[in-house]
Amino acid sequence: MPEQTTNTAQKRLRILRDDEIQALYERPRFTDDERLESFALSPTEKATLEPLHSSKSRIYFILQLGYCKSHHMFFVFDLPDVIEDARYVQAH
């Protein structure tokens, strides 16, 4: 009996388009209004921020927290990649 090879990519169910997948799993891109909501800190979050001494650590914490609030995921990023968000956090 001849061995049949199948392309698994063709047999997979495709529910979402590439841009929809990217929107789900990519780091959020916030508008100014979204930044206001996502990077606002509750009293508990402010207390958690207290032990962090360097500005860079505090900014990373707030950025990760805001991205997690939005997408319920953590992201790997470099500060230059999120400079607009970092400037917003630093200003507020």
Instruction: Quick: pLDDT tens for 44-85.
Output: 999 999 999 999 999 999 999 999 999 999 999 999 999 999
pTM: predicted TM-score of the whole model, two decimal places: 0.78
State the virtual CA torsion across 47, 68, 37, 35 in degrees, nearest 10: 110
Q: Is the residue at 61 inside a domain?
A: yes
Would the pLDDT of 9 be above 70?
no
Which one, of 7, 10, 26, lies nearest residue 18 by Cα?
Answer: 26
- State the average pLDDT over residues 32-52: 95
Q: Is the residue at 59 inside a domain?
A: yes
Q: Is the residue at 1 inside a domain?
A: no
Tracing tokens 């929809």 back to the chain, one arrives at 20
Domain range enclosing 69 = 8-91
- pLDDT value of position 83: 95
- pLDDT value of position 23: 81
User: What is the number of structural domains in the chain?
Assistant: 1
